[in-house]
Amino acid sequence: MCGIVGYFGKRPAKDFLIEGLKRLEYRGYDSAGVAFLEKGAQRGSKASKRWKIKAIKALGKVAALQMKMEGVFVSGIGIAHTRWATHGKPSERNAHPHIDCKGLVAVVHNGIIENHRELKEVLEKRGHKFRSETDTEVIAHLLEEEMSPSGEKRKVGFEEAFVKTLKQLRGAYGIVAIATEDPEIMLAARFSSPLVLGIGSGEMFIASDVSALVGDVKRVVYLDDDEIAVIRRDGYVVKTLSSRKREKEELTLEWDKTVAEHSGYAHFMLKEIFDQPKSFADALRGRLILEEGMAQLGGLSAVEKRLRSINRIVIVSCGTSYHSGLVGEYMFEEYAGIPTEVEMASEFRYRKPLLDRKTAVIAISQSGETADTLAAIREAKEKGALVLGIVNVVGSTIARETDAGVYCHAGPEISVASTKAFTSQLAILSLLTLYLGRQRGLSLVMGKRIAKELEQIPKYMERVLAQAKDIKKLAKKYAKQAHYLYLGRKYNFPNALEGALKIKEIAYAPAQGYPTGEMKHGPIALIDSSVVTVMIMPKDSVYEKNVSGMEEILARGGKILAIATEGDTALAKKATDVIFIPKTLEMLSPLLAVIPLQLFAYYVAVERGYDIDKPRNLAKSVTVE
């Protein structure tokens, strides 16, 4: 998905622009480009100099752009972009930044301008010549039209022209623009596509994703919809579209540069899988009260009273975050006694959901920017529900738009395939179960047991990770399977979905996840000796049911790769292959069972030779519908 970075300061902009684009590479893209202001000689005059725009673009990787920029002197003001083609094929011509006919402005844009065809028609009639097939290019020509209308004298300044342009756009946008007429400012605007300002000392940064700023700034400001930022070398002002100044909260960026590096692992995904004992412990840190079997969640204190009165929970989320929500459903119902439903946010927004003040809607999102989840919480707010967030990225849109929430503190998740965010979300859901459960009927004894066991999880995770080499061998053995089936029951049914999603995403393998009990209603028709079924079957309350399901598969010649509880030798004898996980409480078993599934998908993708951190067609945060 597209990425934006911009720099205005004392250094040549090139350094940050290239580095920032590299930090956004994980989002997926097909071309890249930069534009900056440079002083050039005015035609016909050797003495006076005027600003002009210089743009450099490259198809493919940022490294190709970097090569093209070697030896190019770049001033202290520039913008850059990685493009993920939507309107027009991947090409240098379609790569951003886009420039108007007269070379007055350069624009980078994320999102989609829905009325670009109508706007283009009008602009073409007024004589504008378009060079690309993109929707974005209309923005550059609209700016030109406002600043320097065809055949007329310059009408308005850059900032006013920017506002007038924004008012003509329909759709979603994060836009950053620079203009030769006003080299003292850079302008940015947001509507439904994130932008974050980074505040340096005597220098300012902007990006569409906070991970581009990690290591360069400590203070950030997120833009909200319908806001524009006027950025100068030494500061910024945020305004509404009606030019009213907005006071913005500056947040501290906790992440440092090292957390966004491979650190010796072959891929970010592998690093993030191995991060989990630590990221899980970070999610619990300071939140567990062992002796009271309780959790303290500062982010919920403002809504504590209202939370006591809720009688229904609806979880909204997408992808992996949807799967963690499904585990949460089992937890909330079993231990907090609150009826819970989990909805895919993309569907929720188009239903007519029945919500009231006694319903808590919980949005789960790693990025905090997923468009579908955002639309779902907006709908829920309108209907009067209490809206909570379980979000990883501090200050992200979902975090800001929810009434209250709990951060995951997993650190930046760079790999497109989500891993550590999942287990951190489960950590928060477990804490929330304690919090809500102890407010209701959960006994002190049970609360203490859960709290104590949560503390042990990082140690258990290490034991699962220690089997990575064995899992790698199994992945090698099964890497050529045409199709994978994942089965699990109760708390581990969501893991069956998650295992299948992981292998689909990075190994491009057709895979399906089902509750074991659903097998006989159709999927069993797929079983023959060529299919391996990954069965998640720890010693829990549904163990016997899972064993029956396994027997049915074995009886039809199918192979079983079982995820089983340590010491389950009986199962080990029956299954074709087995990976063991430590014994823990049933509600916490998904935290351990998911790790072999992540590693298995990872090593199958390695065997198949795919680009694991940048899987085809996928984006890390899906900010468009």
Q: Which of 346, 370, 516, 565 contacts ligand M6R by CB under 6 A?
A: 370
The least distance separating ligand M6R from the CB of residue 473, rounded to whole angstroms, comes to 24
Note if 620 is an active site residue. yes
Assigned token pair, 207:
């990006």
Assigned token pair, 418:
């989500």
Assigned token pair, 566:
């340590």
Q: Is 418 in the site for ligand M6R (CB under 6 A)?
A: yes
From residue 576, alpha-carbon distances to 95, 335, 511, 583 in Å are 51, 35, 19, 21
How would you classify the pairing of strands 312-317 and 340-344?
A: parallel
Query: Which part of the chain contacts ligand M6R (CB under 6 A), choosing from 8-16, 52-60, 217-225, 365-373?
Result: 365-373
Q: How far apart are the first and last CA of the chain?
A: 12
**String marking each residue 31-70 x if it binds ligand M6R according to CB under 6 A:** ----------------------------------------
Complex with ligand M6R: residue 96 or 502, whichever CB lies closer: 502
Q: Which of 211, 365, 430, 533 contacts ligand M6R by CB under 6 A?
A: 365
Assigned token pair, 119:
């706007």
Q: Helix (H, G, I), strand (E, B), or coil: what is residue 318? A: coil
Note if 101 is an active site residue. no
Q: Is 622 in the site for ligand M6R (CB under 6 A)?
A: yes
**String marking each residue 372-411 x if it binds ligand M6R according to CB under 6 A:** -x--------------------------------------
Give the span between the Cα atoms of 343 and 373, in whole angstroms. Answer: 10
Complex with ligand M6R: residue 419 or 481, whichever CB lies closer: 419
The least distance separating ligand M6R from the CB of residue 364, rounded to whole angstroms, comes to 7
Q: Is 588 in the site for ligand M6R (CB under 6 A)?
A: no
**Site size for ligand M6R (CB under 6 A):** 16
**String marking each residue 300-329 x if it binds ligand M6R according to CB under 6 A:** ------------------xxxx--------
Q: Which of 505, 540, 568, 613 contacts ligand M6R by CB under 6 A?
A: 505
Q: Is 594 in the site for ligand M6R (CB under 6 A)?
A: no
Query: CB 246: neighbour CB atoms within 10 A?
Result: 14
**String marking each residue 83-122 x if it binds ligand M6R according to CB under 6 A:** ----------------------------------------
Query: Which part of the chain contacts ligand M6R (CB under 6 A), choosing from 227-235, 252-260, 291-299, 366-374?
Result: 366-374
Q: Is 621 in the site for ligand M6R (CB under 6 A)?
A: yes
Q: Is 624 in the site for ligand M6R (CB under 6 A)?
A: no
**String marking each residue 267-306 x if it binds ligand M6R according to CB under 6 A:** ----------------------------------------
The least distance separating ligand M6R from the CB of residue 415, rounded to whole angstroms, comes to 8
Peptide bond just before 523 cis, omega within 30 deg: no
Give the span between the Cα atoms of 560 and 151, in whole angstroms. Answer: 75
The least distance separating ligand M6R from the CB of residue 413, rounded to whole angstroms, comes to 8
Burial readout 391-428 (b: 16 or more C-beta within 10 A, e: otherwise):
bbbbbbbbbbbbbbbbbbbbbbbbbbbbbbbbbbbbbb
Q: CB-based contacts of 505: which residues, under 8 Å, 6+ apart?
A: 416, 417, 601, 615, 618
Can you tell me which residue has the tokens 């010491």?
567
Q: Is 416 in the site for ligand M6R (CB under 6 A)?
A: yes
Complex with ligand M6R: residue 369 or 568, whichever CB lies closer: 369
The least distance separating ligand M6R from the CB of residue 215, rounded to whole angstroms, comes to 22
Least Cα distance to 7 among 123, 153, 108 occurs for: 108
Amino acid letter for position 516: T
How would you classify the pairing of strands 359-365 and 386-391?
A: parallel
Give the span between the Cα atoms of 486 and 496, in whole angstroms. Answer: 5
Least Cα distance to 484 among 375, 379, 600 occurs for: 600
The least distance separating ligand M6R from the CB of residue 96, rounded to whole angstroms, comes to 23
Q: Which of 62, 213, 394, 417 contacts ligand M6R by CB under 6 A?
A: 417
With contact defined as beta carbons under 8 Å apart, do 504 and 510 qualify? yes
Q: What angle do CA 105, 109, 113 make, to 5 degrees?
A: 105
Assigned token pair, 12:
């040549």
Q: Which residue is nearest to ligand M6R (CB)?
A: 319
Complex with ligand M6R: residue 148 or 366, whichever CB lies closer: 366
From residue 291, alpha-carbon distances to 280, 282, 295 in Å are 20, 20, 10
Of 2, 120, 504, 614, which one is the catalytic site residue? 2
Complex with ligand M6R: residue 95 or 534, whichever CB lies closer: 534
Of 420, 504, 614, 620, which one is the catalytic site residue? 620
Q: What is the largest CA-CA distance in the chain?
A: 89
With contact defined as beta carbons under 8 Å apart, do 563 and 581 qualify? yes
Complex with ligand M6R: residue 96 or 409, whichever CB lies closer: 409
Least Cα distance to 451 among 589, 287, 583, 591 occurs for: 287
Give the span between the Cα atoms of 128 and 106, in whole angstroms. Answer: 15
Interface residues with ligand M6R (CB under 6 A) are 318-321, 365-367, 370, 373, 416-418, 505, 618, 621-622
Active site residues: 2, 620
